[in-house]
Amino acid sequence: MAAALAGAAAVMALTGCAGVEYREDICSSGEYPVLSVGGTGSACVPDEQEPPAGFVRYPQGKVPQQVDDEWDVYWNTHTLDKDGNIIDAPNAG
pLDDT in tens, 8-50: 455 455 555 566 778 899 999 999 999 999 999 999 999 999 9
Position 72 pLDDT exceeds 60: yes
Calculate what percentage of the chain has a pLDDT beyond 90.
71
The answer to whether residues 42 and 34 touch, using CB atoms and an 8 Å cutoff, is yes
**In whole angstroms, how large is the CA radius of gyration of the chain?**
20
Q: Which residues contact 42 (CB under 8 A, 6 or more apart)?
A: 26, 33, 34, 35, 36, 55, 64, 75
What is the pLDDT, as a whole number, of residue 5? Answer: 47
How large is the average pLDDT for residues 51-74?
A: 97
Average pLDDT, the chain: 86
Q: Give the C-alpha distances (Å, rounded to integers) separating 39 from 3, 8, 16, 57.
A: 58, 51, 41, 13
